[in-house]
Structure 1
Amino acid sequence: MITEKPITTTKPTINSLCIYCGSSPGRLEAYALAAVSLAEALVSRNIKLVYGGAGIGIMGRLADNVLKLGGEVIGIIPKALAHKEVAHQNLTELHITQSMHERKMLMAKLADGFIALPGGIGTLEELFEIWTWAQLGFHKKPCGLLNIDGYYDWLIRFLDHALEEQFVKKHHHALLMVEKTPEVLLERFAKYQPPETKHWLGKNET
């Protein structure tokens, strides 16, 4: 039998956000420009950036612009990637972990919410894992998807299809906020009220 434990809902304070995004620049300049816009939005709200620690691709563009504007950037990267000179060398803080799993755990711990910009398989894996943790009741932090220039249109359609086919519940589907601009998404984050949810698994069961 599954034991369900209610979680008390409280409105979170957004002091830092974890941003998942590509280590490649992508085909369109719009993706990099979105990273610049998000950097501006974060700094204007005095929100720290927590991210994967790389100095390349969309990741590097995001970190560079937060730093350029006087914001704080916390990078978290596994040792294997750091040794390949992928790590950004000018961050406010750089944490080097032993594994990818440890990296994701620390990113989740240090952030008050999570946003995915355009990215590849790694970005999708990180987003879906943190969204799943919200579904399971492991955290009550907001999760968002920035759909830049239609990049995630097909993914959004698939998620709607999964809802229609009753593999995803409506209240779990609603946990992922989707917007086209950083400003609108951050406004939703600021007003976010975690829904009442229940623990389906204990952390020692994952």
Structure 2
Amino acid sequence: MLILSLDTSAAASAAVIRDGEVLQRFSSTDTRSHAEVLAPAIQQLLADADVAGTALDAIVVGVGPGPFTGLRAGIATARMLAFVWGVPLHGVMSLDAVALDAGHPDGEFAVATDARRKEVYWARYRAASGLPELVDGPHVGPAETVPELPVYGHGAGLYAERLAGTPHATDLWPDAAALAVIAERTFAAGGTLRPTTPLYLRESDAKVPGPRKKALL
């Protein structure tokens, strides 16, 4: 199966994967330039992998949770490419990618990413064969709201004094290659993925302006 996957819930990442093998991948550590870097990166990935967009079997996009601007950039790009190329489009929760890369050996654990405003996006998982099982979440809130479990993800590093992070916890961000692996394994097991509805978990900071006040005469 040939998949293009992308995620902009934190930093921007993209990958081209065929039958579990990563052909090309891209990642950025900048969490505020998704719209500028994503389209050129995808174009370069496909060229380097010698893959035409119309040859893809699927496009997979991380649906968050994440900040409004970054998340919209990835989902809008994925929807546009799927429409232009006539390729099926699927969503995967971005925290699932961190849970997969965590490789937690047994029992329950948590995943946390930066939600800004001194909060984290988090979810609770149970280690299982094939793919980690989502137990609870996603949620957004202070680090104190995360269960007292081993915690993986960038959020664990930001609030290490409050979260039971693991040695490599701060190295893990939502990764596009992991999203594609989740999609492949889900399809192989006869399962289905999410729609591409974004998981914002917060109201937008943007407000519709109210009516103008009448000028005094």
Give the structure with the higher percent strand: 2
Higher relative contact order (CA 8 A, sep 6+): 1
Larger radius of gyration: 2
Is TM (by shorter chain) over 0.5?
no
Give the structure with the higher percent helix: 1
